[in-house]
Structure formats: structure tokens, C-alpha cells
Amino acid sequence: MGAVHDLTLVVPCFNEARRLRREAFAALHAATGARLSFVDDGSTDDTAARLAELCAELGPGAATLLSLPRNVGKAEAIRAGLRAALAEGAEVVGFVDADMATPASEVARLVSTLRSTGAHVVMGSRVRLLGSDIDRRPARHYLGRVFATLASLSLGLPVYDTQCGAKVFRDVPALRAALERPFDARWAFDVELLARLVAPLDGRDALSAKDVVEVPLRSWRDVAGSKLGRLDSARAVADVVRVGLRLRRARGATRPPQT
């Protein structure tokens, strides 16, 4: 296990006071050795106070709290947390959802995969396989498969699950460049982040698709209280379409002219 400061996991929180469980985050810290960076995204309930309690309960160096003055959305909360972690010297960063739908042991597997391979990005993937325990409501599963297919076509990558809220990244120039400016996509920022990493957008160098690894999760729980409604799902689809169009233009601009 590495030193606590070399790995930071960002936990975005907006009005999550009722779902923040000390035992879940204590298990996450113990399993990964990570410093947990809670980002309060301008919550209007008791989230800020609960997060302050959690940081005190977890102990010095185990957790920090970044409070944003206003609600900017999950994408920008995560971006702020990742940038702060990189600025503080973390060699590996990542993010997990506040509901801890991905268990601590599975997050630890993602981190272990990143450390033991040459991967620069490792993503959890909710693949329903024999022997796995993926508890996801049927409607969300099938809607997720449609969305994932659209995301895969837009990115031009054989990605199975862009939206699983558990991802870890190695500190490389491509990641820092990808986080420089705000995300255009509010609801499908995971897709936009992947696009920024693997496509030469804005003339930047990109990671190879081989630098990105999906790890099928052995366990995942669909936790009640999701804030993603039907309208939000439609907006996420629109986000993916826009990302795909931008990628197509960028790839067309970098393709050498035919003779």
C-alpha cells in the first residue's frame, strides 16, 4: 500500500446528507489507502456539516473537504476535486459516487489494476456476468445499454460502460490537459472526459485506446435516491451526440489529405 498522499479519490456531494455513511468511507480508506477528497457542490441541506463530521471521524490526513460556493454540477465538482488533488501531488486520482454503489473492495481492485499495469485510466464496468453481483434495476440496465452503445459509437471505442461512477487515473500530461477547462457536457461528462483523453482535441496529444482499461465489477448496488430523471437522461443523450460531432470534426481536421 502506498503512502496516503499518493492516491486521492474525489467524492462529489450535492444534498447527500442522508446517504453519507461513515462505515462505507472508512472501508474505502482502509481498502485503498486513499485520501478522500469530499467536494460539497453548494449543497442546501446538511451535507457540509455532515462532511465536516466525516473528515473529523476519519482522522487527520484521511479525508479533506473542498466546499464550492455554489452548485456547479457533478462534472465541475469532480473536475475541481481532481485538479486540487493533482496540484497537491497525488500520483493517482479518481472519483467515486457518494452513495458508494461501487463497494470499497471493487474500488481497490481498480486502483490495483492501474498500479500493476501500464494503464493510464481504469474504469469500473457494470457487466452482468455469471458469478457477479450486479444489482441494477432492469429499466436502468436496458436504458444504460442503449446509452452505452451511443457513447461507444460517438467515441469510436469499444467501451461498455462510460457512466459507472468509479474511475481512476494516473497523473499524466493528457489528464491535466483534459481537466484544464470546464466540461461542456453536464450530464455525460464521463464521455467528454474520455473524448478529451483519447482524441487529439484542440491539437493536444492523446492517450492510446490501449491506455484505457475497463474492469468488470464483481459487485455493484443500485442505491435508492438517484438524482437522474428522464429529462436528465435525454440531456445526457444530447451531450453524447455533441461530443461525437466534435470528435468527428477534430478527427477530420487531423486526417492527412488524400493524394
Whether 253 shows a pLDDT value over 70: the answer reads no
For residues 32-37, average pLDDT: 97
pTM for this entry: 0.89
Q: 223 or 51: whose pLDDT is higher?
A: 51
Read off the pLDDT of residues 181-196 as tens digits, 9 standing for 90 and up. Answer: 999 988 889 999 999 9
Same domain, 79 and 142: no
Same domain, 202 and 109: yes
Read off the pLDDT of residues 132-147 as tens digits, 9 standing for 90 and up. Answer: 999 988 877 778 788 8
Same domain, 159 and 243: yes
Same domain, 71 and 122: no
- The pLDDT of residue 153: 85
Domain count, the chain: 2
Burial of 92 (0-12, 13-18, 19+ CB in 10 A): buried
Which range marks the domain in which residue 215 is found? 101-253
Same domain, 64 and 156: no
For residues 214-237, average pLDDT: 79
Q: What is residue 62's DSSP assignment? A: T
Read off the pLDDT of residues 46-92 as tens digits, 9 standing for 90 and up. Answer: 999 999 999 999 998 899 999 999 999 999 999 999 999 999 999 99
Percent helix, strand, coil in the chain, to 5, is: 45, 20, 35
Share of the chain above pLDDT 90, in %: 65
Q: Hey, is 219 helix, strand or coil? A: strand
Q: What is the mean pLDDT of the chain?
A: 88
